[in-house]
Structure 1
Amino acid sequence: MNTALRRLATVVVVMFLALLAGTTWVQFGQASALNNDSRNVRTLYREYGKPRGPIIVAGQPVAQSTPVDDPFGFQRSYTQPELYSTVTGFYSVVNGGSQLERSMNDVLTGQADSLFWSRVQDLITGAQPQGSSIELTLDPAAQQAAVDALGGQQGAVVAVEPSTGKILAMVSTPGFDPNALATHDTTAANAAYQGLLAADGDPLINSTTSENYPPGSTFKLVTAAAALESGSYTPESVLSAPDVYTLPGTRTTLPNFGGSSCGANEQTTLADALRISCNTAFASLGVDLGDEAIREQADRFGFDRADLTVPMRVAASTYPEDLNDAQTALSAIGQESVRATPVQMAMVASAIANGGSLMTPYLVQTVRTANLDVVSEAEPTELSEAVSGTTAQQLTDMMVGVVQSGSGTSAQISGVQVAGKTGTAQTGVEGESPHAWFTGFAPAEDPQVAVAVIVENGGSVGSEATGGRVAAPVARAVMEAVINP
């Protein structure tokens, strides 16, 4: 009998321990996964049952929670949705979130570690928990100018304050209306989401941070920087500039744009090569420098960084490795396998504008509790020393030449000296029109704004597009909005 009781007791103890272990695992080990599971309706009710913090631009909310008479309690609403959808993204019962609504979710819901004491205070006082607000660095005038200047064209614009890294404009077109996704009518929200997924131009994608493009001739700034930093070249250095350049080790030839000539006796200076965007001179220069020198310079401008967030993650721009001379020649003019985001090319211009110091770009200036207490305030930080002050000044002078009398005259602003570089990038897809690029800054002598613009596949001009014709006017509009508000 005692033996039977012992066995029964052992079974009961084992079952109790198994139950205890299982409960502990569910309550603690799986807590985070279960809470964040999109199928967990309780999580949705908990999040929507309290006000989500607003997203604020220039003192005005562009995304906020409004009370609704349904089991969720609050619904996200967006003002000027087409203007700010690139940045805010969406927050949906059905489809989750994107952009700031996703990357700053723990702050907006009040669950961030930095808000611990605020949650404790709410618990003690019995106040309704609320999410924190985030105040952005965006300049509404610059944002509006970017949207207006792009018009119906598919493209992207990023504007940055060079001395701090503040993002003043971030636009990816076409935009979309996040309100259609925020509705609590799950059928309607899902239909809107599927419609946007199928829409032309990928409106749900933030091309400024997520899309890598061949940068074309805007990358010549990196190659020119590598040349100047080597100590072997000055802006007056004479380069070989044949009308047609034969890629080393091949029979493939590289012409200049429109079959033009870059200078007398097939020679030109480094400054003039940048001013008129001479392909053959920069291809030859790239081979002379070598791919390692150009890659190192690209890295100093921020290429090949997988850890950059603004706070949305920025896809790493890339400069390829292990290139032969022919590939190096093409990479030196921003073709081959070189890829860059619009954020990256804005960083290149910003570093030059800031005397060679590349500041980390950022979008969120201040986080505040519902009581308006400051939780965090962004401080400008240097990401790298991209080039020396001397090189930055030389590049600035050369870029001024591009806008004064070179390929970028459409970026001129009356009474303001503008520095810039155009780009017309072949996509590598047969039959596709090239992308039109421009990057630059103004005023050249006291930079307030650096900008990068891409108009995909030539926009409304198509195969006839150039960076100077299509992208430069967009950049001019954005720079003017910052300089002359």
Structure 2
Amino acid sequence: DLPGDAALAGSLDLSRMELVGDHYEVPLDGGRRAVLTLDPTLQQAAEKVLARAKAPRGAVVITATDGRILAYAGRRTEDPKGGKDGIVDLGLVNTAWAPAASVFKLVSASAMIDAGVDPHGKVCYHGGLRSVMASNLEDDKHDNKCADLSYGLAHSQNAIIAKLAHQHLEPARLRETAEALSFGGDLPAWSMGGEAGRSEIPDAKGVEFGKTAAGFTGTYLSPVGGALLANTFATGGEMVTPRLVDAIVDDGGRHDLTAAPSTRVLPAKVARTVAAMMVETCDSGSAAKAFRGKDGLPRSVKVAGKTGTLSRDEPLPLQYSWFVGFAPADDPAISVAVVLGNTDLWWLKAHTAARMLVAEALKPARTAKSGKSGHQ
């Protein structure tokens, strides 16, 4: 017996998913049926958000903190410019088609904290808005601002991350942390298979290493990998195995599946330290406009997250917009990943899409399904 729902790999056809009462089911061979973990309200909300985004490529994953998948949605348009006519493409959910961009800073920050970097130690820097240069790696006469690692993560400040990585991290250590945190290839064995993410970390320090640590190059992430990455900070450093099947129903009745065991991939103290920086992202950093603006969440609801934005011309000219995070930050119930491959004409950014989904997930009636009490 394989743990979780791994034994069903290759046999779940989600195009045959049917709503049965308060849950979805998929027919299996031999007259059996798979009862899915998906929350119909969140699944429909995820599909609606992707339709509203009108992006050429987009995907959403929402998990409970124990790895149960509550929403699993992918959409693409035939038109390379995007638009309202889209088709379901679940291949976008468990493949690493999008560069991880600044989401990779979560890995770099984890490696730095683990290596003893003080999250509130003063770092002086210049530039770093859209690039990393050699002058960013050492103390430089152009340095005209000072902040710390916590600020660097929350505001996605490239020069701070690159400088600290250059000064405190060996490439082997960053590689090891990346492989533990969703950037090491395949997802844990589960029904849908696929890839968590991948990374190419330069062997030597220098500008390319700094750019990699900041998320400019060499790292790719799948939406499932992104949700599991965020969830690792929600669980205090445990990597869970995703699961889409709650139970199998056959002539003998209902057979509940048990969760696969989780794996400790970060020391709890490191995970908690980075999680606190992720709260700053949504309170005052790069996602504050979405979460704390006029359409934001109530002040009492804390969200932890990380944004990422990167433009690439191949295979299509797209601006990749990422958000990964978890909520409520003080008592996590769900983790979420949103990635949109937008064109210059975009309708939604990932952090705004994520805010809509978090608001839906934390409605009091919903949170019972994710295993937590309701949060107002």
Q: TM-score range by the shorter chain?
A: 0.7 to 0.9
* Residue 302 in structure 1 maps to residue 187 in structure 2: no
Do 2:43 and 2:71's aligned partners in 1 also have CA atoms closer than 8 Å? yes
Distance 1:368 1:298 in 2: 39
Distance 2:111 2:239 in 1: 16
Counterpart position of 1:284: 163
- Of 33, 36, 41, the match for 1:133: 33
How far 1:321 sits from its partner (Å)? Answer: 4.3
1:153-201 CA-to-partner distances (Å, cap 9, x unmatched) read 3310111112x1111111101499xxxxxxxxxxxxxxxxxxxxxxx97
1:89-142 CA-to-partner distances (Å, cap 9, x unmatched) read xxxxxxxxxxxxxxxxxxx113xxxxxxxxxxxxxxxxxxxx211111111121
**Equivalent position amino acid for 1:471 in 2:** A
Counterpart position of 2:280: 401
Counterparts of residues 264-279 of structure 1 (less than 5 Å): 265-279=144-158
Distance change (3 Å), C-alpha of 1:172 and 1:246 = closer
Identity %: 29
Counterpart position of 1:160: 63
Counterpart position of 1:247: 133
Do 1:146 and 1:477's aligned partners in 2 also have CA atoms closer than 8 Å? no
* Residue 369 in structure 1 maps to residue 369 in structure 2: no
Q: SS at 2:305's partner residue?
A: strand
1:426-450 CA-to-partner distances (Å, cap 9, x unmatched) read 3254982421111111100000111
Distance change (3 Å), C-alpha of 1:355 and 1:454 = same
**Equivalent position amino acid for 2:335 in 1:** A
Counterpart position of 1:237: 121
* Residue 144 in structure 1 maps to residue 44 in structure 2: yes
Distance change (3 Å), C-alpha of 1:370 and 1:430 = closer
How far 1:211 sits from its partner (Å)? Answer: 3.6
* Residue 318 in structure 1 maps to residue 318 in structure 2: no
Do 2:96 and 2:198's aligned partners in 1 also have CA atoms closer than 8 Å? no
Counterparts of residues 98-137 of structure 1 (less than 5 Å): 108-110=28-30, 131-137=31-37
Distance change (3 Å), C-alpha of 1:393 and 1:236 = same
Counterparts of residues 59-74 of structure 1 (less than 5 Å): 59-61=22-24, 63=26
Counterpart position of 2:12: none
Unaligned runs of 5+ in 1: 1-52, 65-107, 111-130, 177-199, 255-262, 463-468
Distance 2:271 2:145 in 1: 28
Do 2:64 and 2:333's aligned partners in 1 also have CA atoms closer than 8 Å? yes
**Equivalent position amino acid for 1:323 in 2:** D
How far 1:458 sits from its partner (Å)? Answer: 4.8
Do 1:425 and 1:434's aligned partners in 2 also have CA atoms closer than 8 Å? yes
| TM-score, structure 2 as length reference | 0.78
Counterpart position of 1:387: 266
Q: SS at 2:163's partner residue?
A: helix
How far 1:63 sits from its partner (Å)? Answer: 4.8
Counterparts of residues 319-334 of structure 1 (less than 5 Å): 319-324=199-204, 325-334=206-215
Distance 2:358 2:123 in 1: 33
Do 2:23 and 2:36's aligned partners in 1 also have CA atoms closer than 8 Å? no
Distance 2:251 2:17 in 1: 10
Distance change (3 Å), C-alpha of 1:217 and 1:58 = farther
Counterpart position of 1:456: 341
Distance 1:408 1:365 in 2: 33
Counterparts of residues 149-228 of structure 1 (less than 5 Å): 149-150=49-50, 151=52, 152-153=54-55, 154-162=57-65, 164-174=66-76, 203-228=88-113
How far 1:202 sits from its partner (Å)? Answer: 7.2
1:407-440 CA-to-partner distances (Å, cap 9, x unmatched) read 1010342131111111102325498242111111
How far 1:318 sits from its partner (Å)? Answer: 0.9
Counterpart position of 1:483: 362
Unaligned runs of 5+ in 2: 1-15, 79-84, 367-376
Counterpart position of 1:335: 216
Counterpart position of 1:427: 312
Aligned length: 326
Distance 2:187 2:307 in 1: 28
Distance 1:246 1:343 in 2: 29
Distance 1:161 1:61 in 2: 16
* Residue 445 in structure 1 maps to residue 330 in structure 2: yes
How far 1:327 sits from its partner (Å)? Answer: 2.0
Distance change (3 Å), C-alpha of 1:441 and 1:323 = same
Distance 2:108 2:123 in 1: 13
Give the number of the structure whose residues are more often helix, by fraction.
1
Report the structure number with the largest CA radius of gyration. Answer: 1
Distance 2:21 2:344 in 1: 31
Distance 1:58 1:242 in 2: 57
Distance 2:20 2:161 in 1: 42
Cα RMSD between the aligned structures? 2.9
Distance 1:268 1:290 in 2: 22
Counterparts of residues 340-359 of structure 1 (less than 5 Å): 340-359=221-240
**Equivalent position amino acid for 1:318 in 2:** R
Distance change (3 Å), C-alpha of 1:174 and 1:62 = farther
| TM-score, structure 1 as length reference | 0.61
* Residue 417 in structure 1 maps to residue 294 in structure 2: no
